[in-house]
Amino acid sequence: MSREAWVRATDASDLVHGEVMLLRTTMLGQMSEIRELQAADRRRQTGQVTALQGQVTASKAHVTTLQGLDGSPTQSGLPEEAGGSA
């Protein structure tokens, strides 16, 4: 291989190595961002679950209160085909 060809091959190798290192740096940055987004998503989901659980609890209490006010039968007082245990 001539010196000129060797220099071109070395330059091409250096260029490819630089591109690989740039892509590696980009990938590591994206992996870090993905981890941050996943953590934020878990926090958001936890907040939504907590809020929904609170709404379900409040709704159950509201239904119980309304049943007590209008004399509606409780679940155990319903006919069996309607969901009761009679």
- As for how many domains the chain has, the answer is 1
What is the pLDDT of the chain when averaged over all its residues? Answer: 88
Tell me, yes or no, whether 21 lies in a domain: yes
Tell me, yes or no, whether 11 lies in a domain: yes
Q: pTM of the full predicted structure?
A: 0.56
Tell me, yes or no, whether 83 lies in a domain: no
CA–CA dist 23, 34 (Å, integer): 16
Q: Please answer whether residues 42 and 49 qualify as being in contact, where contact means their C-beta atoms are separated by less than 8 angstroms.
A: no
Tell me, yes or no, whether 25 lies in a domain: yes
Tell me, yes or no, whether 65 lies in a domain: yes
Tell me, yes or no, whether 17 lies in a domain: yes
Domain that holds residue 27: 3-69
Q: How confident is the model at residue 70 (pLDDT cuts 50, 70, 90)?
A: confident
- Per-residue pLDDT of 39-50, as tens digits, reads 999 999 999 999
Q: Which of 5, 72, 74, 70 is nearest to 83 (CA)?
A: 74
Number of H helices, E strands in the chain: 1, 0
Tell me, yes or no, whether 10 lies in a domain: yes
Q: Please answer whether residues 77 and 84 qualify as being in contact, where contact means their C-beta atoms are separated by less than 8 angstroms.
A: yes
